[in-house]
Amino acid sequence: MDVSSFTPDRIRNFSIIAHIDHGKTTLSTKLLSLTGTLPEKIYGKQYLDKLQVEKERGITVKAQTCTMIYRNKEDGKDYLLNLIDTPGHVDFNYEVSRSLMACQGALLVVDAVQGVQAQTMANFYLALDAGLEVIPVINKIDLPTADVNRVKQELKDVFGFHPDDCVLVSAKTGIGIKDILPAVIERIPPPSSEGIKKTFKGLLFDSWFDRFRGVICLVKVVDGQIKRGEQIVAAGSGQVYEVFDCGIMHPEQKTTGALYTGQVGYITPGMKTSKEARVGDTFYIKDHPVEPLPGFQPAKQMVFAGVYPVDSLDYNPLKDSFEKLMLTDSSISISKENSVALGMGFRCGFLGLLHMDVVLQRLEQEYGQIVIATPPTVPYRCLLTSGEEKIISNPAEYPTPDVLDRTFEPMVKGFIVLPTEHFGAIVKLCMDSRGIQQNHETLEGGRIRLTFSFPLAEIVTDFYDNLKRVSSGYASLDYEDNGYAESDVVKVRILLNGEEVDSLSAIVHRSKAQNFARSLVKRLKNVVERQMFQVNIQAAAGGDILSRETISAMRKDVTAKCYGGDITRRRKLLDKQKEGKKRMKSMGCVELSQEGFLKLMKSSNDDE
């Protein structure tokens, strides 16, 4: 395919952004079908949701790119349209912000029934910060409960869109779909043409691993052009690579032999290891250095958990799997970790709980890695009496009270859009989660937008599920980083006969420590196996024991053969057994096995 005729004025790069389940991927698939990019046999399917986890969960996890060629009826010219379908969940905001860097415009899709939701606002402001032209698209207008006029008014009140600017469509039935691409060509600006005569400069904004061709990089050509066979340099590492292949995604990889100014496509640079593909890096022609592009802000991990292989022999394969997975998801962070109960593993950072679930599911489905994950924690900032400051993401590393001065926990600013009738229940839920109300706004259609300040530790557990439960599924949540605040937290340690189990330690707020300790100790009693001696299960915070359960010893009936005689004979046998049990307890060692840890995690999920 020859793309050299598509000059920047006939190129449009745009993404589709929206709240969860407002119809982004359905709309993307419809546009691909309209332009003849998709084969007839896959017409109607969610084509851009390619991962198995996306098909099973019905959500978009990974931003996907596709190039369409569209003939505009207004001027009769062919246009090269690069579409990027983005995720809608708050956990994948990093994917959205990264995708917007490769675009000049965005379609903001809003459900005609639900209207403007929390993530609609978050994605709009991401596009605004990136300097993009935003086109509002009201979807699902075919539904009986659709209220288009109300949604138009919301878009005007919240974002300042004129009602006539909105494109009305139904991605499911195809109503109004033909109006979208002419609006994209007319209202979204083309890429800058100033760099046509300059040497090649490209932005690496995504990558993935192909088992036959190695690392494949998705690039936006900012200046100049790149051709097959040329040698390029990665500005970040200084490594030199030869371009073995380049082309566009139409809808799969289609070789073009060259990419030109303003175009978005893939290159195969023959990278030897997956670590070499750094998202946000700048490529340029060898011996023709350029000023590197700003790149992306590093993703800020919000949730941390220990991830361990079920079999210790799988440690190295798990490490290789993580490296390949991080090619397609650079927002994960990993570091080595060792646990007495679970062996060698990794301390992993994720953007949220859903992100963590998706990563673990992808490890299993795409790489065949069955793993054990510890309960998620958040990073705490600890100020020691020596003046030193530490960031603690593993509870086992939390400082002891004698060297700890103060602890600061991460805070988030949460935005909740909800129907008026659920106001009382949701405010109570927020207060129970140690939330502090900061703002209260009334929206169109009997809805409210609340702004709360929350400790992140309260949000990442089961807050979202509870929010959906108390609002019958109508409330939506978005949150952003809000720094750190001093907090009265304690480390809850689990002791088995006085020996600490590091993998079960947790950092919790003092007001909730007692209930947390009781729940954990009670579940642990059902998991720890009975021994020939008594086992004491305790939860401690500092020098205080918060909760305790006792597993009695297995005991043989030593008096079974005593058919008569003095009571002292029976007592002598029982005392002898008691001494043996005491000696056994002092010498015996109780360890929580890997199977026991798995049972404990399963019982935790069942309780939730």
Domain with CATH 3.30.70.870 in the chain: 303-373
- Compute the distance between CA of residue 242 and CA of residue 231 in angstroms, rounded to an integer: 4
pLDDT at 608: 47
Please report, in range form, the residues annotated as the binding site: 18-25, 85-89, 139-142
- Compute the distance between CA of residue 608 and CA of residue 523 in angstroms, rounded to an integer: 13
Q: Do residues 131 and 104 make contact, with C-beta atoms less than 8 angstroms apart?
A: no
Query: Parallel, antiparallel, or unpaired: how do β-strands 343-350 and 303-309 relate?
Result: antiparallel
CA 306, 309, 313, 316 dihedral sign is negative
- Backbone dihedral angles phi then psi of residue 588, each to the nearest 5 degrees: -70, 155
- Backbone dihedral angles phi then psi of residue 463, each to the nearest 5 degrees: -60, -45
| Integer angstrom CA distances of residue 542 from 327, 398, 464 | 42, 11, 31
How do residues 473-530 score in pLDDT, each as one tens digit? 888 888 888 899 999 999 999 888 888 887 788 899 999 999 989 988 888 888 777 7
Q: Do residues 501 and 592 make contact, with C-beta atoms less than 8 angstroms apart?
A: yes
How do residues 410-420 score in pLDDT, each as one tens digit? 999 999 999 89
Q: Give the fold, CATH level 3, of 490-607.
A: Alpha-Beta Plaits (3.30.70)
How do residues 285-338 score in pLDDT, each as one tens digit? 999 999 888 877 777 888 888 898 888 888 999 999 998 888 888 888 888 988
DSSP string, 150-211: HHHHHHHHHH---GGGPEE-BTTTTBTGGGHHHHHHHHSPPPPSTTTTSPPEEEEEEEEEET
- State the architecture of 381-486 in CATH terms: 2-Layer Sandwich (3.30)
- Compute the distance between CA of residue 531 and CA of residue 555 in angstroms, rounded to an integer: 9
Domain with CATH 3.30.70.240 in the chain: 381-486
Q: Give the H or E element holding residue 51.
A: none
- State the architecture of 8-187 in CATH terms: 3-Layer(aba) Sandwich (3.40)
Give the global pTM.
Answer: 0.77
- Compute the distance between CA of residue 8 and CA of residue 223 in angstroms, rounded to an integer: 11
Domain with CATH 3.30.70.2570 in the chain: 490-607
Helices (H), 420-488: 423-432, 456-459, 463-470
Please report, in range form, the residues annotated as the binding site for GTP: 18-25, 85-89, 139-142
**Bridge partners (DSSP) listed for residue 392:** 380
Helices (H), 329-474: 353-367, 423-432, 456-459, 463-470
330: tokens are 């650079």
Q: Do residues 89 and 100 make contact, with C-beta atoms less than 8 angstroms apart?
A: no
pLDDT at 10: 93
- Compute the distance between CA of residue 475 and CA of residue 454 in angstroms, rounded to an integer: 17
pLDDT at 104: 93
- Compute the distance between CA of residue 124 and CA of residue 129 in angstroms, rounded to an integer: 9
Q: How does DSSP classify residue 570?
A: H
Among 552, 523, 527, which residue's Cα sits nearest to residue 539?
A: 523
CA 60, 63, 67, 70 dihedral sign is positive
Among 59, 54, 60, 57, which residue's Cα sits nearest to residue 15?
A: 60
- Compute the distance between CA of residue 597 and CA of residue 599 in angstroms, rounded to an integer: 5
Residue reference for tokens 């010219």: 77
How is the chain split among helix, strand and coil, in percent rounded to 5?
30, 35, 35
- Compute the distance between CA of residue 141 and CA of residue 494 in angstroms, rounded to an integer: 55
Q: Which CATH superfamily is domain 201-285 in?
A: Translation factors (2.40.30.10)
Dihedral (C-alpha) 53, 56, 59, 64: value to the nearest 10 degrees?
Answer: 50
Among 354, 395, 337, which residue's Cα sits nearest to residue 513?
A: 395
3-state SS, residue 599: helix
CATH number of 303-373: 3.30.70.870
| Residues of the chain below pLDDT 50 | 43-44, 587-588, 608
